Structure 1
Amino acid sequence: MTKSKFIIHYLLLNKYSYMFAIVCIFVVNYLQVEIPRYIQLAVDLLNESTTESKEGLLENVHWVIALSVVMVVIRILSRMYSLNPGRITEAALKNDLFHRLNRLPSTFHEQYASGKLISIINNDLNGIRLFYGIGFLQLFNILFALSLTPIWMWRISPQLTMYSAIPIVIASVIFWLGFRKLRALHAQRLICLQNLSEQLMNYLSGIDLIKNQQMGEWVTNEVDRVNARLFDCTMQIAKIQTFFMPILDYANHFMKVLILGLGGYYLLQAKLTIGEITAFLSYSVLLALPLMHLGRIATVYQMGMISIDSVQNILNNEVPNTDMLRMSEDEKSTLRKSTLLVQNLSYRYPSSKGEDSEMVLKDLSFSIEAGEKVGVLGSIGSGKSTLVNCLNHHLSLGAGHIFWGSKDITQMSRQDWRSYVRTITQDPFLFSDTIFENVKFGAKQPIHGADELNVDQVLKLSQLSEDVQRFGAGDQTLVGEKGIMLSGGQKQRLSIARALLTPSDLIIMDNVLSAVDYETERTILKGVFNRIQGQSLLVVSHRVSALEYMDKILVLEKGEIIARGTHAQLLKSSDYYRETWELQQHESESPA
């Protein structure tokens, strides 16, 4: 979507409100130029003492009061129907951005840090809200004021109108020079805000490490450095706004002096009356308001254009075509309880330098039958997490390597694929909410009544129920941001409970039991086996004890499957498996 199409699209979102606002703005500006005409007539009648002149004076005063009251009412309506669309557009854009961010692949999120995205959604959307709100209002205010007011001034005195335009033209040229410089600075300022937001997010995420390693001084210096760039940019904007933006206001003051001087001369020459000079001065005041607002609308326009560029960087990123395709419920049901087939799977991460990076997975082939329990054993760096991210389609793959039944998962939308597979990662994410809400997060249906027993059941299966009972508020205990109130093992067990709550055809457990002891690990796995009878399970771990009871175990080393079989078979056939088993057995039997 081009910038012009973007602007038109969100303008049409509130087209009826905008159309009514335009009518109201025109009426307000028309009444503004009509009121001085009645003031002119009233002032000229002050020199006359006849009964007719007194009646005419009273009538003109009544007209001024009536038109002023009507103008106030219509001005309120114009502001309501021109400013509210800005808020509506902001809300619609936030929904559109969230919808797009939720569907963009991992390659996009690798390019944009969370801090930058938060800055765009907060700071840049404020610029767009002003653009579609106060920007729209002031634009038509200025257009109507600068078109109607000079016409009424020309009717009184063409010569005085021409002289009055001279300082405005000169000031407009100077204003335009500052306007061009200001746009570049506004773009630079938004980038500085994004960088600052990104940096703060990173430091807040690692605040414990910063404290432990006594890195506070270094972090402070880094934040000061980024903040200093933002400060310098903001100060440059303030300097330009202080000098260039008020130039039109200064020109308007000079125009009033000019009107008084030349108007007085024309009065002495009997070319103008006192009433006409009074009306002309009133028109100069009306002309001053849009000229003063011209600087403001220029700033709003610049912020809006720059903010639209930032937002379009997100909205114009393409969602993969396959993610836009959704399967019907009948098609989904035919693929239930299917076999996961992996054929000749290889993967290397894309290199930022354009060079080929090292192959992480090398020609892997295996299958997971419906209801089968499969384990993957591997040391750190063997490619376990990469394999998991390929299986759940977090990473972009080529076609022809991973199949669910007869369906290639690269030809399915990620949303459809993840209705079959549920992944429990080794670094679970918890929301700042209660334990109960974190467990039921992502459940297909609201959990009420009898379903609440399921939450208790999965907490028991994940060996977390005793811990929860010790909390003062039970499962209504707040876990804090990212689960800060829980230990590492409790977080992992809570993520297991969340995954077990909603049935799925395949559960992938990616080293999720690393933070619990061996006995708790065995108990959890037994409970999981009982819970998911009929469902497939893939357990990825560097612990042999987590894989003892699997139907099949794959041994992964440097991206290759070097052995496969049951626990008993691998103890006989694989030296690597047997040595790892003996070493871990010794560790589990040693005193703490």
Structure 2
Amino acid sequence: MTKREFVGHYFWLNRYSYLFAMVLILIVSWLQVEIPRHIQMAIDLLNESSPLAHTTLVGHVQWVIGFALLMTVLRILSRMYALNPGRITEAALKNDLFHRLNRLPTSFHQKFASGRLISIINNDLNGIRLFYGVGFLQLFNIVFALSLTPVWMYRISPVLTLYTAIPISIAFVIFFLGFRKMRVLHVQRLQRLQDLSEQLMNDLSGIDVIKAQNMGEWVQQKTQTINQRLLETTLKIAKIQTFVIPVLDYANHLMKVVILGFGGYMLLRSELSIGQITAFLSYSVLLALPLMHLGRIVTVFQMGMVSIDSVLSILNQDIPSRDTDSEAKPSPLSKGASLQVKNLNYRYAGATIDALSQVSFTLDFGKKLGILGEIGSGKSTLVNCLNHYLEVESGHIFWGDSDMATTPLSHWRKHIRTVTQDPYLFSDSISENVKFGASSRGFESDDSKIDKVLSLSQLGDDLSRFSQGKHTVVGEKGIMLSGGQKQRLSIARALLTPCDLLVFDNVLSAVDYETERQILSGMFERIQGQSVIVVSHRVSALEQMDEILVLKQGQIIARGTHTQLLATSDYYRQTWLLQQHETEVQSA
């Protein structure tokens, strides 16, 4: 989408509101140039004492009062219909952006920091709201005012109109040069805001590490440096504005001096009447208002255009072809199918070796698969390939007969549910965190279902110690909970809604061995008829699996049941013996 197409699209979205506002503003502009004409005729009748002149004078005054009242009503309506499109566009654009961000691949989010995206959604959308609201309102006002007012002035005196155009023309030249420089500065300012937002997001996310490592002074200095750059750019914009905008005001004052000087001279020569001079001064005021607003509208339009560039950097990102219009297409995936991985390889960008190499296995529906491996063995990479957090080439991962590389993610993620070792919790109650996303999958949850999954995840005893039980607010990212409580809460969330494949990626690393066994026992009772993949570095978490894969340096070095691997795999047996010893030490 080009910038012109963007402007046209959202302008067309509000076309009826803009059209009605334009009609109202045109009527208001005509009324406000008619009022001085009636004032002119009324003043010229003051020297006449005939009854007809008195009646006509009263009539002109009545017209002025009527026009003024009508103008007030129409101006209010025009502002409503001209400003509302800004809010409507902002809301529509937020929906478009969120929809796009949710469908963009992981590669995009790796390039764009969250803080920068938040700055675009907040600061840049605010600029676009003003562009479509105040910007177009003032544009219509200026266009109609500059179209009608000079015509009415010219009708009074062509010569005086031409003289008054001289200071305005000079001011326009200075104005143009100043705001051409401001466009570059507005781009820099929004970029500085995005840098500051990104830095603050990083600081807040790592606030615990910053405090623990006593890095506060270093972080503060870095933030101050970015903030200082933003301040310098903002001051440069302010300096230009304080010079350019008053130029228009000075031009307006000079225009009045010209009117009084040359107009007075023409009055002495009886070329103009007092009423005409008064009307001409009134028209100069009407001309001054749009000229004074011109500085604001140019600023708004510049910020709007710069903001549109930032927003287009998101909207113009390509969505994978398999996800285009996927919601409108029926899912090709069948329930109760088997998962097949064939010769899967994956290498991260910039890496020299594969994170996964020739990984192959089959998980029949309803079976339980365990994956064991040390840190860096490729366990999480495999999980991220399965749920398509990482892009995988076609021909490697299948659900039944469907190739996952060509299947829309929205369809695949209706069948798979992944629980990671670092779950994300919202600043809401425990029950609301459990229910998150359930309604969007067509699942109606009630208190009894929530209580059951909380009990299965071994959170029941913890809830009894909370003052508000399951209605306790967990704070941002679950800061009020321990690591183990967060993991168990994420398990409860996954167990609440049914799916075909559950993937647990080392989700029990923060709980003790006994709690781990209780959670797994209850979980396996709950998920009868579902396929399960449990990834762990603990052998005890995998003892009940139908098959276990042992990963080392991205390759499967052994596979089998717990009993078979104890007999055939030295690595598995040594890991099991070591962890058995740790359990005995903990028990003692």
* TM tier relative to shorter chain: over 0.9
Q: Counterpart of 1:512?
A: 507
Structure 2 vs 1, CA of residues 325 and 138 (structure 1 numbering), >3 Å: closer, same or farther? closer
Aligned CA distance change for structure 1 residues 270 and 230 (closer, same or farther; 3 Å): same
Partner of 2:521: 526
The answer for the alignment partner of 2:582 in structure 1 is 587
1:582 corresponds to which letter in structure 2?
L
Aligned partner of 1:217 in structure 2 is 217
Map 1:385-464; keep pairs closer than 5 Å.
385-443=380-438, 444-445=441-442, 447=444, 451-464=446-459
Asked whether the 8 Å contact 2:456–2:492 carries over to 1, the reply is yes
1:144 aligns to what? 144
Pair 1:445–1:330, CA change in 2 (3 A):
closer
CA deviations 1:277-334 (Å, max 9, x no partner) are 00000000000001001110000000100111111111111111111253889755x6
CA deviation after TM superposition for structure 1 residue 445, in Å: 3.4
Counterpart amino acid of 2:314?
I
Deviation sequence 1:27-75 (CA, Å, 0-9, x none):
0101111100000001111122222222221111111101111111110
Q: Give the structure 1 partner of residue 68 of structure 2.
A: 68
Report if aligned partners of 1:40, 1:275 keep a CA contact under 8 Å in 2: yes
> Gapped runs of 5+ residues in structure 1?
none
- For 1:212-361, list aligned pairs within 5 A: 212-326=212-326, 335-351=334-350, 357-361=352-356
Are 2:42 and 1:47 equivalent residues in the alignment? no
Whether contact under 8 Å (2:443, 2:497) holds in the other structure is no
Q: 2:562 corresponds to which residue?
A: 567
Please state whether the residue corresponding to 2:360 is helix, strand or coil. Answer: strand
Residue 578, structure 1, aligned to residue 577, structure 2: no
Distance in 2 of aligned mates of 1:132 and 1:225: 34
The 8 Å contact of residues 338 and 369 in structure 1, kept in 2 or not, is answered as yes
Cα distance in 2 for residues equivalent to 1:163 and 1:342: 83
What is the Cα deviation at residue 350 of structure 1?
A: 2.0
Deviation at 1:196, TM superposition (A): 0.5
Is 1:366 the counterpart of 2:361? The answer is: yes
Name the % identity. 66
Cα distance in 1 between the residues matched to 2:586 and 2:316: 58
- Tell me, yes or no, if structure 1 residue 198 matches structure 2 residue 198: yes
The one-letter code matched in structure 2 to 1:441 is F
Rounded Cα–Cα distance in structure 1 between residues aligned with 2:543 and 2:331: 36
1:538 and 2:529 matched:
no
SS in 1 for 2:458: coil
- 1:591 Cα offset (Å): 3.9
Q: Secondary structure at the match of 1:336?
A: coil
* Partner SS for 1:133: helix
| Cα deviation, residue 469, structure 1 | 1.8
Cα 1:165–1:375 change in 2 (3 A) is same
Q: How does 1:478-493 map to 2 (within 5 A)?
A: 478-493=473-488
Contact 2:331 2:411 in 1 (8 A): no
Describe the superposition over 1:109-139 as per-residue Cα deviations: whole angstroms up to 9, x where unpaired.
1111111111111110110000000101100
Task: Check conservation: 1:440, 1:447, Cα contact below 8 A.
Answer: no
- Write out per-residue CA displacement over residues 135-164 of structure 1, whole angstroms, 9 at most, x where no aligned residue: 011001000111111000000111100010
Which amino acid in 1 is paired with 2:339? L
User: Does the Cα contact within 8 Å between 2:327 and 2:410 map onto a contact in 1?
Assistant: no
Match of 1:463, SS? coil
Question: Could you tell me how far apart the structure 1 residues matched to 2:401 and 2:105 are?
Answer: 24
Distance 1:326 1:14 in 2: 28
Taking the aligned partners of 1:253 and 1:384, their CA distance within structure 2 comes to 75
Number of residue equivalences: 585
Q: Give the structure 2 partner of residue 556 of structure 1.
A: 551
CA displacement 1:528-547 (0-9 Å, x = unmatched): 11111111110011111111
1:103 aligns with 2:100: no
- Secondary structure of the residue aligned to 1:102 is helix
Q: Which amino acid counterpart does residue 529 of structure 1 have in structure 2?
A: F
CA contact (8 A) 1:246 1:295 kept: no
Partner letter of residue 486 of structure 2?
A: K
CA RMSD, 1 decimal: 1.3
CA contact (8 A) 2:323 2:410 kept: yes
1:410 positional shift:
1.2
Confirm or deny that 1:156 pairs with 2:153.
no
Task: Specify the code of the residue in structure 2 equivalent to 1:340.
Answer: L
CA distance in structure 2 between the aligned counterparts of 1:23 and 1:331, rounded to whole angstroms = 49
Match of 1:499 in 2: 494
TM-score (norm 1): 0.97
User: CA–CA distance in 2 between the matches of 1:559 and 1:521?
Assistant: 26
Note the C-alpha offset of 1:472. Answer: 1.2
The answer (yes or no) to whether the contact 1:360–1:386 under 8 Å persists in 2 is yes
SS for the counterpart of 2:426 is coil
Segments of structure 2 that go 5 or more residues without pairing to the other structure are none
Q: Secondary structure at the match of 1:460?
A: helix
Q: Which residue of 2 is the match for residue 179 of structure 1?
A: 179
Residues 116 and 197 in structure 2, CA contact (< 8 A), matched pair in contact too: yes
TM-score (norm 2): 0.98
What's the CA shift for 1:496? 0.4
Which whole-Å deviations, capped at 9, do the CAs of 1:508-565 have from their partners, x for residues lacking one?
A: 0000000000111111111111111111110011111111111111010111111111
- Look up the match of 1:16: 16
Q: Secondary structure at the residue paired with 1:548?
A: coil
The amino acid that maps onto 2:258 is L
CA distance in 1, matches of 2:254, 2:311: 42
Separation in structure 2 between the aligned mates of residue 314 and residue 234 of structure 1, nearest angstrom: 25
Structure 1 residues 213 and 8, CA, compared in 2 at 3 Å: closer, same or farther? same
- Output the CA distance in 2 between the equivalents of 1:23 and 1:326: 42
Alignment partners' CA distance in 2, 1:358 and 1:284: 75
State the 1:586 CA deviation: 1.2
Match for 1:111: what amino acid?
A: K
The answer to whether the 8 Å contact 2:341/2:359 transfers is: yes
Q: Distance in 2 between matches of 1:49 and 1:15?
A: 53
SS of match in other structure, 1:244: helix
- Conserved 8 A contact 1:488-1:515: yes
AA matched with 1:6: F
Give 1:128-139 correspondences, 5 Å limit: 128-139=128-139
